[in-house]
Amino acid sequence: MKRRSLIAILWLFFLSGVMSFRAGADSGSPILTLTIDDQITPISSEIIRQAIDRAEAEKAEVLILELSTPGGLDTSMREIVQRILSSLVPVVVYVNPSGARAASAGFVILLAADVAAMAQGTNTGAAHPVDLTGEMEKHKTLFTKIENDAAAYVRTLAENRGRNVEAAEKAVRESRSYNEVEALNEKLIEIIAKDRADLLAQLNGRKIRRFNGQEAVIQTQGKSVVAIDLSWRQKLLSFLVNPQIAFVLFAIGALCLYFEFNNPGAIAPGVVGALSIILALYGFHFLPINVTGVLLIALSLVLFVLEAKVQAFGILGAGGIAAMIIGGLILIDAPSPELRIGLPVVASVAVPFGLIMIFLLRLAIAAHKMKVVTGDVGMIGLVGVAETDLDLEGSIFVRGELWRAVAKTRVSKGEQVRVTGIKGLMLEVEPETALSPPKQASAVTLAEDGKAEAHQHSGSDL
């Protein structure tokens, strides 16, 4: 009995050791997943490159990039492609979930993957270079060069990945788009998977040829799946790099700073304004900025100031709003419409911004033109009452306060005085009667004086 118990215990130790070994093996080569569901920007490039670095450091079996993007910046796209091609770990690009797309720059990233996969109800393609200037006919040769360069780039990727070169080139030259079935039939992708579990099942045991010509086999069975979470910095930058958000933050910051400059000590508007401006500029510096757009926005601010100072009947203000709208529309020099600031956002910011700015400016100008009623200067001209006899010096009560005062002539207690100057904490005053114009004799006064004079004459006759 004891022998059987001992054997059972040994078997338990053996089995636990095997399970620990398998768990250790799995943890040593996990499957990493990363989700990108926004425009391709420098932040997207940084996130993907860091994910590949982590996959290499952890010796991951494969990195699955779940992609949903309308496109983005060419420079960021090329950085991502270069990192995928040089990755020591196989990279699978999976257009997911259903309804997602990998358009424009996303299509090129899909072509660069070791394995290209799409979920049901997705599409890809439409990678033709976009004309932002509206002068394609004028600079036809230049745009032809850009198109040829993009076509050559996708041809190279498709050829080295064993995909359909002609179909890939059509996505560039003809803006051709493909749904998941068409992409599979055209041999642009290898897998259609309904979800991640289906994708992992189809990847298991699949032989692939890396970009450098080496062959590898992907093993997904029994591997742990680890999702890569974005850091708080990456989440913040992904939020700020949205041009719509950056533009709104810039407008709010400008208004708050203007209010703070005109009302020193309010503190809160200054803090909010400075923080908004800094965050907006930090977001803008990741985006391709059009200098003309910046100049138009600066011009709009100048026109708002002039409208408040000059009676232009709203012409300058309307010009400022128009300049801000046009400047906002062309501020971001990006091929993807999602990376540019849309007209609804620009108009909803520019019109209220212009009206509020003009209103605040006019209030400030009107306040500067008003007579000073506070401080030392505001005391001059006020009328007070002598609290003591002013034999050159004494006390007066003016504007609810007791002041030391000096007068050139004697002033009796209770007599009204007017402030004519200030020296330090001493007021210079004069009797109010001395500064008042002489009273004109009224008819009643003249009549009374006449009666008094007549009475005196009659008394003398007696």
Prior bond of 97 cis (ω within 30°) = yes
- H or E element: which one contains 185? helix 180-185
> Which of 44, 45, 76, 104 does the annotation list as catalytic?
104
280 class by beta-carbon count within 10 Å (0-12 exposed, 13-18 middle, 19+ buried)? buried
Record the tokens describing residue 94, joined without a space: 């999976």
423 as an active site residue: the answer is no
Q: How many CB atoms lie within 10 A of CB 351?
A: 13
**Distance of alpha carbon 190 from its chain centroid, rounded?**
40
Residue 360, C-beta contacts closer than 8 angstroms, at least 6 positions apart: 255, 258, 259, 262
104 as an active site residue: the answer is yes
**Residue 247 near residue 346, CB atoms below 8 Å:** yes
**Residue 240 near residue 283, CB atoms below 8 Å:** yes
Three-class DSSP category at 373: coil
Record the tokens describing residue 261, joined without a space: 């400059």
Q: Please, which residues bridge with residue 421 across strands?
A: 428
Record the tokens describing residue 63, joined without a space: 């990195």
- H or E element: which one contains 215? strand 215-218
Beta strands, E only, 5-97: 31-36, 62-67, 91-95
> Which of 59, 138, 140, 145 does the annotation list as catalytic?
145
Distances 48 to 17, 101, 211, 280, 363 between C-alpha atoms, Å:
37, 18, 18, 24, 51
Task: Give dist(CA 384, CA 332) in Å, integer.
Answer: 64
Q: Please, which residues bridge with residue 102 across strands?
A: 69, 124
DSSP conformation class of 377: G
Degrees to nearest 5, angle at CA 261 with 260 and 263:
60
**Residue 97 near residue 75, CB atoms below 8 Å:** no
**Residue 415 near residue 370, CB atoms below 8 Å:** no
Distances 305 to 277, 298, 320 between C-alpha atoms, Å:
20, 11, 9
Task: Report the catalytic residues.
Answer: 104, 145
